[in-house]
Structure 1
Amino acid sequence: MTYLRAFLLPFSVLYGLVIWIRNRCYDWGWIRNTAFDKPVIVVGNLAVGGTGKSPMTEYLVKLLGGRYRVATLSRGYGRQTRGFLEVAGDDTAERCGDEPLQFKRKFPRLTVAVDEDRVHGVRLLLQRGHEVIVLDDAYQHRALRPGFAILLFDYRSMSLPKWLLPAGNYRDDFRERRRADLIVVTKTPPMTTEAEKQRIRRSLAAARQVPVLFCGIGYGAPVKLLPDDRADTALLDATCSVLLVTGIANPAPLYDYLRAQAQEVVHLRYPDHYRYTPAAVRRIIRRFRDISNSNKLVVTTEKDAQRLMDPALHSLLTDLPVYVVPIHVKFEERDEDLLQQLLLSYCHDTLKN
């Protein structure tokens, strides 16, 4: 792997040059970007996937949804449609993307939209009377100038080189963290010391002082994927075996969590945003049957659930005990208070002007 990275490094340098020129064109005003007079909050990252953008977006929806008319806007990665689309609860992941569909099903009264042109999408949502727009994964969408940008870093990535693609995992220059209004280090282990947090804060320090907060992951009880005569929730204990099925960028935290709960975890891993087919489901069934323990279940993520709930797969999944593990972000009280103070003040002050 080291030799491969070394081979790819010249391509990373070229990619970095292109990224640097693009960013400077926006910074210096050579390419126009658009700002809005209503609160527009961006959640994003610099690395490729797996930092917890969806749980953070859901946290913001819960925080702001009771105070303002909130809408979320995503690109709708992997969808088979184009242009602006408002997501309905009975949509499919192929039509609107798995993450937007997850938001809509978890928050039925929330307006969830997708549009590859974020400026166009925000403009339409504001015209329809929404007060606050939360954009999922739009930090690199420089055509839109957010009012408040939240930049996420995965805790494990903080000890790794900050190399650009294709030699590394960064799709944008690490120095671009200076554009953020708030940095959150996600998936932080609960036993992380204050000394380690200070080390990470120093590594993230930029010329512009940006608050750095830390959050971990919380998991709920597994809930049933499809209605049947089984219990609505499943109990994970030291006697059960789990077939973990994932098509997300970073399943390691969920695997570690299940490994600590169950007797055995068999992991069937697919690429991020994997589109499940009948053949893939039949493979899942075979792997499940190969587990000798009679106390067993299939566990998947909320994002994967949106693709597995495709009507074309229902008949194959009916007899399989498939459960979904809900996920949420967990802040320490001090960090959560600061986060809420910053966001609520921003929204209040922007709407007042």
Structure 2
Amino acid sequence: MEVIRKLLWPFSLVYAAAVWLRNQCYDRGWCASESFATPVLSIGNLSVGGTGKTPMVEWVLRRIGARRAAVLSRGYRRRSKGFVLAGPDTSADDLGDEPAQIALKFPKVAVAVDADRRRGIRKLTHLASPDLIILDDGHQHRKVRPSGAILLTCWGALYTDQGYLPGGDLRDHKSQARRAGIIAVTKCPELPDPETRAEITGRLQPDPGQRVVFARLAYSDVRDTEGRVVSPEELRKEPLTLVTGIANPEPLVRHLRSLGLVFEHLEFPDHHRFSPREIDALRSRKRILTTEKDAARLGSDLTGHWVIGVAHQFGEADEKVLLDFIDSL
């Protein structure tokens, strides 16, 4: 892998120059960015792969109190086109797996998808009259000027340590971190002590006024498709089949092993669309455990499986930093 990355290094230089030039066009006003009367909170990252954007959206939705929020996403790998508002009859095919997951968990929140974020914001404002729009994966969408931005970066894979596509994982220029009010270091093995926080913050080199917060992953109870909790004793009775189609399943695998579970792991690519043959193969297995994101994609094609969720867990002081930032929008 390292050899391939070195061979791709010249192409990464070209890519870095291209994204730098694109951002310069917006920074200098040569390309237009649009602001909106309704506050817009962007949640995004600079890299490809899972930094935990969907759990961050859900964290905000759980904690904004009486505010009437709406969520707008691109709807990656959906089969629909244009603007789609989630409703009782929409599925992951219409919305994409992550928006479908959010819509299922937060039925009172208006969730929509549109590759044209400006059009999507205008339509959501007209249809749902929100007082906060959460722009999922919005950091690269320079045509929208958000009211505030939360930038996510993974513990162990900080954007400051990464190279650019195709040899690395960065899809945007490192300099664009400055547009975020909050930098959240996600997927920490544990919430770091003050010395470690200071060391990581120093590596990120935040601008004055930017705040750096830290989160670990907290996995939920395992539930069946009716929402009933499955006890650890039941999970340990017989070996399981773990089915994942997410960017990085390793933290989940470690968590399940720490619970003493025995399982075969069927690992698929991120956002994988299961074929009829794969669905039939899964139906032949009796004890299937999967993620909320995969369950959204599997829909009603698979029944009787178990689902595990994941959330970000911040320390008390960092929670206050985040809530104060969101309240200011």
Q: State TM-score, norm by structure 2.
A: 0.94
Task: Classify the secondary structure of the residue corresponding to 2:185.
Answer: strand
CA RMSD of aligned residues (A): 1.8
Q: Within 1, Cα distance between the matches of 2:238 and 2:254?
A: 15
Corresponding residue number in structure 2 for 1:351:
none
Report matched runs for 1:5-24 at 5 Å: 5-24=5-24
% identical aligned pairs = 39
Amino acid at match of 2:317: R
Corresponding residue number in structure 1 for 2:288:
298
Amino acid at match of 1:81: S
Q: CA shift at 1:232, angstroms?
A: 2.5
Q: Is the 8 A contact 2:185 2:213 kept in 1?
A: yes
Corresponding residue number in structure 2 for 1:56:
56
Q: Does 1:68 find its partner at 2:58?
A: no
Distance change (3 Å), C-alpha of 1:146 and 1:159: closer
In the comparison of the two structures, how many residue pairs are matched? 326
Distance change (3 Å), C-alpha of 1:143 and 1:159: closer
Q: Is the 8 A contact 1:240 1:262 kept in 2?
A: no
Amino acid at match of 2:118: V
Q: Is the 8 A contact 2:47 2:159 kept in 1?
A: no
Task: Classify the secondary structure of the residue corresponding to 1:233.
Answer: coil
Q: Within 2, Cα distance between the matches of 1:341 and 1:158?
A: 25
Report matched runs for 1:164-313 at 5 Å: 164-190=164-190, 192-225=192-225, 227=226, 232-237=228-233, 239-285=237-283, 288=285, 297-309=287-299, 311=300, 313=301
Q: Within 2, Cα distance between the matches of 1:124 and 1:11?
A: 39
Q: CA shift at 1:149, angstroms?
A: 0.4
Q: Return 151-160 or 20-29, whichever deviates more.
A: 151-160
Q: Within 2, Cα distance between the matches of 1:183 and 1:191?
A: 15
Q: Deviations over 1:93-144 (max 9, x none)?
A: 1111111111111011111111101111111222332211001101000000
| Ranges of 4+ aligned residues in structure 1 off by more than 3 Å | 206-209, 237-240, 282-286
Q: Does 1:325 find its partner at 2:324?
A: no
Q: Within 2, Cα distance between the matches of 1:276 and 1:61?
A: 29
Report matched runs for 1:126-145 at 5 Å: 126-128=125-127, 129-145=129-145
Q: Is the 8 A contact 2:160 2:203 kept in 1?
A: no
Distance change (3 Å), C-alpha of 1:175 and 1:265: farther
Task: Classify the secondary structure of the residue corresponding to 1:157.
Answer: coil
Distance change (3 Å), C-alpha of 1:308 and 1:35: same
Distance change (3 Å), C-alpha of 1:108 and 1:207: closer
Amino acid at match of 2:249: P
Distance change (3 Å), C-alpha of 1:152 and 1:191: closer
Q: CA shift at 1:80, angstroms?
A: 1.0
Task: Classify the secondary structure of the residue corresponding to 1:156.
Answer: coil
Q: Return 277-286 or 87-96, whichever deviates more.
A: 277-286
Corresponding residue number in structure 2 for 1:150:
150
Q: Is the 8 A contact 1:42 1:137 kept in 2?
A: yes
Task: Classify the secondary structure of the residue corresponding to 2:99.
Answer: helix
Distance change (3 Å), C-alpha of 1:191 and 1:124: closer
Distance change (3 Å), C-alpha of 1:282 and 1:153: same
Q: Within 1, Cα distance between the matches of 2:118 and 2:9?
A: 34
Amino acid at match of 2:306: Y
Distance change (3 Å), C-alpha of 1:86 and 1:258: same
Q: CA shift at 1:285, angstroms?
A: 4.7
Q: Is the 8 A contact 2:159 2:170 kept in 1?
A: no
Q: Within 2, Cα distance between the matches of 1:28 and 1:285?
A: 55
Q: Within 2, Cα distance between the matches of 1:135 and 1:160?
A: 24
Task: Classify the secondary structure of the residue corresponding to 1:142.
Answer: coil
Distance change (3 Å), C-alpha of 1:92 and 1:191: closer
Q: Within 2, Cα distance between the matches of 1:156 and 1:106?
A: 30
Q: CA shift at 1:161, angstroms?
A: 3.4
Q: Is the 8 A contact 1:70 1:130 kept in 2?
A: yes
Q: Is the 8 A contact 2:192 2:214 kept in 1?
A: no
Q: Does 1:336 find its partner at 2:319?
A: yes
